[in-house]
Structure 1
Amino acid sequence: MADSVKDIQDQIIEEFSILDGDMEMTNFYIMELGQKLDPMDEEKKTDDNIVKGCQSKVWLTAWLEENKVFFSADSNTAITKGLVSLLTRIFSGQTPDDIINADLYFPQEIGMDRFIGTQRSNGFGAMIKQMKLYALALKSKIEA
């Protein structure tokens, strides 16, 4: 069974705690996470898949496999790609309800607001909102 939303957030908090709040190291680590993101098919990088409200371009798609939601994402900037990789790590493989009802506390715990700024913070919120909307739409397919 996949780790829960809470378990994955706790793993992320632990990983970031090693960086000890060092902004340069934190930014480097986030960019590194983005590099590990599975590549997104180029044909999925369409205007329809762009997350609205992000300053950078962020493409996001979702699909169902055995009643679990999976995400594919990419961005044209390294930091944003790293941020969306954290979200795909948390939400991919979860049920629609687990995603819709998820309480994301890891950003506060790792002090994310200190190193991503207001614009990125708004974009991060837009990514979360889009993922929850995908989960809601996919949930209706399960129930149909």
Structure 2
Amino acid sequence: MASPAFEEIAETFDFLDDWEDRYRHVIELGKALPALDDALKVPATKVEGCASQVWLMPRISGTGPGAVFDFEGASDAMIVQGLIALLHALYAGLTVAEVGAVDAKAEMGRLGLNEHLSSQRSNGLAAMVERIRKLAAEAAA
């Protein structure tokens, strides 16, 4: 279950022939994200388990399981900023209940990311997904 924004990215990836083109596209997606206010780059929003500095700030509209999930994010690494953009496309606009049903590893696998990220980047991506799932679960409760 992926959002229309993520489906659009997946379609674009289908047209990109090699990993270097895909890598550049991920970086471009990250550059297009709005900047995260430096005041939000605090320990409470920092994602542990990432080799790079990563911050995720939830933006949830409503209450309970039907609340709509969104977040802002930032990283000091360009490729990780791009991964944040991919996760934003995957999760933003879903209800907090739907967030937990998304198989992020499978969705990212559709983009060919699983075999092209270093183990550190893969671990960081997993840490970001876990944080997103936790934030959504807390909001749904």
Give the structure with the larger strand fraction.
Answer: 1
Normalization by structure 1: what TM-score?
A: 0.87
**In structure 2, which of residues 37, 40, 46 is the aligned counterpart of residue 41 of structure 1?**
37
User: Which whole-Å CA distance do the structure 1 matches of 2:23 and 2:112 have between them?
Assistant: 12
Q: Per-residue CA shift, 1:33-54, capped at 9, x if unaligned?
A: 0001111111000122111111
Q: Could you tell me which amino acid in structure 2 is paired with residue 126 of structure 1?
A: A
Which residues of 2 match residues 67-78 of structure 1 at below 5 A?
Answer: 67-78=67-78
Aligned length: 136
Matched residue, 2:7: 10
Normalization by structure 2: what TM-score?
A: 0.89
Q: Which runs of 5+ in 1 are unaligned?
A: none
Q: Secondary structure at the match of 1:5?
A: coil
Give the structure with the larger helix fraction.
Answer: 1
| Alignment check: 8 A CA contact 2:3 2:89 kept | no
User: Which whole-Å CA distance do the structure 2 matches of 1:62 and 1:94 have between them?
Assistant: 13
Q: Could you tell me which amino acid in structure 2 is paired with residue 33 of structure 1?
A: L
Q: Secondary structure at the match of 1:59?
A: strand
Q: Per-residue CA shift, 1:2-56, capped at 9, x if unaligned?
A: xx63544432221111112x12211111110000111111100012211111100
Stretch of structure 1 that moved more, 51-60 or 6-15: 6-15
Q: Secondary structure at the match of 1:73?
A: strand
User: Which whole-Å CA distance do the structure 2 matches of 1:100 and 1:138 have between them?
Assistant: 12
User: Which whole-Å CA distance do the structure 1 matches of 2:116 and 2:83 have between them?
Assistant: 12
Off by >4 Å, runs of 4+ in structure 1 = none
Q: Could you tell me which amino acid in structure 1 is paired with residue 35 of structure 2?
A: P
User: Which whole-Å CA distance do the structure 2 matches of 1:5 and 1:60 have between them?
Assistant: 20
Alignment RMSD (CA, Å):
1.5
